[in-house]
Chains A and B, each alone.
Chain A
Amino acid sequence: DAGVIQSPRHEVTEMGQEVTLRCKPISGHNSLFWYRQTMMRGLELLIYFNNNVPIDDSGMPEDRFSAKMPNASFSTLKIQPSEPRDSAVYFCASGHSSGNTIYFGEGSWLTVV
């Protein structure tokens, strides 16, 4: 079974550029989560969707961040404009809204210089 698929795996970009991270959840899962992980703050939930609808985006740091889920098999997290403090690993995860756990992708490692 294919797990959660994220792209790109690594990205290095200059400050001010737009960054788009992509996620394909596990087929059949109806919940999708975006997390950010840094050494200082650990894993933080940014936003999650149920049935393609954003339920809680209170973790999104500021207006430079936006996320969409146009269909059940695809989501994007966009940062515009990017800043060095956005450097982190961004994980996408999916699960069943009534299930026991969520499954993580391998992360997108973002460096903003």
Chain B
Amino acid sequence: EDKVVQSPLSLVVHEGDTVTLNCSYEVTNFRSLLWYKQEKKAPTFLFMLTSSGIEKKSGRLSSILDKKELFSILNITATQTGDSAVYLCAYSNYGGSQGNLIFGKGTKLSVKP
């Protein structure tokens, strides 16, 4: 059965720390892996990864995919209290719509002042 597992489930850090969130997956016909940030409402898109070893960056956030070892990491440097959220990892596979995403349970990040 296809699945995606995120770790840790929750994490508490202080402002300025760097964090690494993990996502491992087992899926047939893998197409892409996506990261979302969910605060109090809807998940918002962060990154989509399709190729191994190519880092995607957006400000203090970056992510990379390893298709051989079947995992991805999301890094946040110099964390701020506004980074507090649940970070969701999801995959899509061929045979379905690109947006047919299967989500992990998320990592809840709390950044303390």
Contacts and interface: CB of A to CB of B under 8 A. Distances in A.
Interface of A: 31, 33, 35, 41-45, 48, 50, 55-56, 91, 93-107
Contact of A95 (B32, B43, B96, B98): B98
Contacts, number: 67
A43 B100 contact: no
Contacts of B96: 48, 55-56
B45 interface: yes
B41 A31 contact: no
A42 B105 contact: yes
Judged by DSSP, the binding face of A is strand
Given A43-B88, A101-B34, A107 B42 contact: yes
Interface residues of B, number: 21
A101 B45 contact: yes
Interface of B: 32, 34, 41-45, 48, 88, 90, 96-106
Contacts of B34: 101
A47 to B, nearest CB: 10
B43 to A, nearest CB: 5
18 contacts: A31-B97, A35-B103, A42-B104, A44-B103, A48-B99, A48-B100, A55-B97, A95-B99, A96-B99, A97-B99, A98-B98, A99-B98, A100-B98, A101-B34, A102-B99, A102-B101, A106-B42, A107-B42
